[in-house]
Amino acid sequence: MHTGSSEHHPSAMSASNFVGRLTRKFDGFWAIAIVALPATLLFLALCSALFTTTPSPDTFRSCNNIECTLQIPRIIHQTYKNKNLPESWAETPAIWKEQHPGWSYEFWDDERNRKFIADNYAWFLPQFDAYPNNIQRADSIRYFILLHYGGVYADMDIQPMRNIEPMLGDAELVLPETPNLGLTNAFMASVPNHPFMKLVTEELGPHANRWYHFTRHWQILTSTGPTFIWKLADEWGGPYLRVPASVWGKCKICQSSCPVLRDGYLRHLHGDSWHNWDSWFFTYVIFCHQYTLILLGTALALAVAMRASTVAWILAHREIVMLSLGCFVLLMFFQG
């Protein structure tokens, strides 16, 4: 019969000792920093996973009015350098026509694109010809086409799964989100002479040559591409229908495959026809493996700060290092 103080369970004593040892290891800036950084990122990732809801095609609401009359002209625009489409995209025009009876379909090749600019927007022709990359001409022409005619623009690697009219609702401007970051110009819709499209065409020239165009990929993104559109939409501040990627069918660039969404409007085939080596570096190294880069950067900073005593510091703070690595492993799991 126990009459005195109760005995402590061995496992409780062991856990208490570990926590005590771990607490004493937080004895300086680096001991705190290498845990605080991944722990904060992990907390934010958990909050995002728990509290961020992903809209579905069924729950997405695109109408502001009860009548919900389509405002976007029933015209589909697509462009490619010539009529000889790659085999994987060869059926795209026919699928758009099949899913959209009563719509007109306009195919734009490089020759027609240049003639359109020369005939209707001659002031832009010098800049159109001066772009060093053909994808910049392919980007810019879509804005002028939508400004002039209105309708829907879609890249050749985007195919409709069904009629997209319910997704467009009664909006006068439709800009889709990318699941990566911000907006994309791979799919857009507008009425003719929309003020945002006018703004975009006017800003193409001023954004053509900027000091931060230090690589081809970044130059394309920020002069005519998705980052350019995202920046202008944010600065413009006017109303538009922002379509989540989960609704229109865009996959993350880090995904090895792109599953077709049930009841989705569009599906995204393999694209990135304009990508180069720096595109691979920006997307698949920096964007898809940012936590790995943060881990390597942290390790490098620690090595530089500690110099010859790095190994000794790691051995003396092994519990801290293991805790930090555990947070990074969980982060990479969430990222994958």
Supply the DSSP string of 77-118, one letter for each residue: EEE-SSS---GGGTTHHHHHHHHSTT-EEEEE-HHHHHHHHH
Q: How far apart are the first and last CA of the chain?
A: 56
pLDDT tier, 176 (very low <50, low <70, confident <90, very high otherwise): very high
Q: Which residues pair with 57 in a beta bridge?
A: none
Instruction: Tell me what pLDDT residue 33 has.
Output: 82
207 and 318 fall within a common domain: no
Residue 101 lies in a domain: yes
- Are 210 and 253 part of one and the same domain? yes
Higher per-residue pLDDT: 72 or 332 = 72
Q: What is the pLDDT of residues 91-150, one digit of tens each?
A: 999 999 999 999 999 999 999 999 999 999 999 999 999 999 999 999 999 999 999 999
Q: Give yes or no for residue 314 having a pLDDT over 70.
A: yes
Q: How far apart are CA 285 and CA 279, in angstroms?
A: 9
Distance CA 330, CA 169 (A): 40
Contact (Cβ atoms closer than 8 angstroms) between residue 253 and residue 180: yes
- Average pLDDT score over the chain: 83
Same domain? For 196 and 102 the reply is: yes
Residue 224 has pLDDT above 60, yes or no: yes
- Residue at which a domain ends, from 245, 274, 303: 274
Within a domain: 304: yes
20-34, 42-56, 222-236: segment of lowest average pLDDT: 20-34
Q: Is 61 domain-assigned?
A: no
Pair of tokens at residue 280: 């691979």
Domain boundary among 274, 301, 325: 274
Residues 185 and 257 in one domain: yes
pLDDT in tens, 256-274: 555 556 667 898 886 555 5
Confidence grade of residue 169 (pLDDT, cut at 50, 70, 90): very high
pLDDT tens digit string along 71-108? Answer: 999 999 999 999 999 998 999 999 999 999 999 999 99
214 with 114, same domain: the answer is yes
Are 128 and 145 within 8 A, CB to CB?
no
Could you give phi then psi for residue 189, rounded to 5 degrees?
A: -150, 145
- Shared domain for 116 and 167, answered yes or no, is yes
Say whether both 255 and 122 belong to one domain. yes
Name the domain count of the chain.
2
Helix (H, G, I), strand (E, B) or coil at 37: helix
Give pLDDT, residue 275. Answer: 53
Residue pointed to by tokens 């991944």:
38
Please indicate, yes or no, whether the overall pTM of this predicted structure exceeds 0.85.
Answer: no
175 and 308 assigned to the same domain? no
Residue 255 CB-density burial (10 A; 0-12 exposed, 13-18 middle, 19+ buried): exposed
Residues 217 and 296 in one domain: no
pLDDT of 165: 95
Buried b vs exposed e over 138-161: b needs ≥16 C-beta within 10 Å?
bbbbbbbbbbebbbbbbbbbbbbb
Residue 219, domain CATH = 3.90.550.20
In a domain, 282, yes or no: no
Q: Say whether pLDDT at 202 is over 70.
A: yes
Torsion angle of C-alpha atoms 210, 181, 157, 60, degrees rounded to 10: -130
Shared domain check, 312 and 192: no
In a domain, 2, yes or no: no
Structural domain includes residue 103: yes
Domain housing 247: 75-274
- Residue, of 330 and 241, whose pLDDT is higher: 241
Q: For the residues 229-243, what does the mean pLDDT come to?
A: 94
**Does some domain include residue 298?**
yes
- Name the pLDDT band for 25 (thresholds 50, 70, 90): low
Model pLDDT for residues 294-308, shown as the tens digit of each residue:
777 888 887 888 777
Residue 234: what pLDDT?
Answer: 93
Cα 89–Cα 92–Cα 95 angle in degrees, nearest 5: 150
Examine residue 217 and state whether it is found in any structural domain, yes or no.
Answer: yes
Q: What is the dihedral of CA 209, 215, 217, 221, to 10 degrees?
A: -30
Please indicate, yes or no, whether residues 128 and 167 belong to a single structural domain of this protein.
Answer: yes
Domain end residue (candidates: 274, 301, 322) = 274
Q: Are 269 and 294 contained in the same domain?
A: no
d(CA 265, CA 247): 7
- The residue among 151, 161, 165 whose CA lies nearest residue 68 is 165
